[in-house]
Amino acid sequence: MLGEVAGPLFQGGLRLSEYRAQKSAWEESKARYEQTVLTALAEVSDALVAQETLAEERAQRERQVQALSESVDLALVRYRQGLAGYYEVLDAQERLFPAERLLARTRREQLNAVVQLYRALGGGWKLGASWLPTP
């Protein structure tokens, strides 16, 4: 008789601990999911901000390269007309080439930002030989 009464009490404690374990597991899963969503939203936001910032930077660098390119052209015209030494041409080119390199780097970073945005949005792609241009 004593065993019959004590049995359900111990089972009740077991059931309560199983319930608490399941509830804790569910809370943990919920917290992980929420963290995953927040991380994804942060990645998308960061990628959008980077893309916008790099687009502005690229436009500025393109204007700078255009101005420096015109400076080289003018220096060449002046040199050909005998109004300036070749040093002026070299000086203009010396300022143009680093600006062109920075523009190329900014373009690469902007393309990387697009790829990061695509990745953050969950885009997946399969790289195979099909993406290569045909000769």
Q: Is there a contact between 131 and 62 (Cβ–Cβ < 8 Å)?
A: no
CA 13 remoteness from chain centre: 51
Q: What six digits make up the tokens of 114? A: 């697009």
What pLDDT does residue 55 have? 92
**Is residue 28's pLDDT more than 80?**
yes
Angle in degrees, 0-180, between the axes of helices 2-80 and 86-120, rounded to the nearest 10: 160
What pLDDT does residue 60 have? 96
What pLDDT does residue 19 have? 85
Domains, the chain, with CATH or none: 15-119 (1.20.120)
State how far the Cα of 127 lies from the Cα of 117, in Å rounded to an integer.
18
Q: Is there a contact between 108 and 50 (Cβ–Cβ < 8 Å)?
A: no
What pLDDT does residue 5 have? 53
